[in-house]
Structure 1
Amino acid sequence: MGIAGGLVPSPSALVVLLGAVALGRTAFSVLLVIGYGLGMAASLTLAGLLLVRLRERIGTALPLEQFAAVASEFQRRPKGGERLESG
């Protein structure tokens, strides 16, 4: 997940790259874009690892069947002014 997120082209990275090329600082802009990609990959990897750890803790504290029942109740709740009709 992290590596794929870091490899995806970003519009802001493109703006930085094109702006720096227009100013004649091409090497600096490439360095900035590489740093941006590495930062994105690192943050997504960290988020994925934290979610795996959280899943392990939830799995031991709450069995999957109970977690699924609680999650489905949140999905069934009416939104805003809607009414939940039975049947």
Structure 2
Amino acid sequence: MIGYALTFGFGALALALAMNLWRLFKGPGVADRILALDTMVINVIGIIVLTGIASSNGTSFEAALLLAMVGFVGTVAYAKFLLRGDVIE
């Protein structure tokens, strides 16, 4: 049963990544592109977690946590750059 759930999860996340890529390239504004990148990071974290569940590997959960932290900092930096035009004051 877990195999079916993992297959469905991988498929759903792959579809979500494809839609995020479409929004990243077609987005009408810079804010939409930043949001697409942030959502892509969240989807990649989901894929890493599903891979960890499928392989029973604990290291991938730590990698997902690190990617979440880096993704958060990146999103904040992009948003600050969008608002002020400079990241470091």
TM-score, normalization by structure 2: 0.42
Whose radius of gyration is greater, 1 or 2? 1
TM-score, normalization by structure 1: 0.43
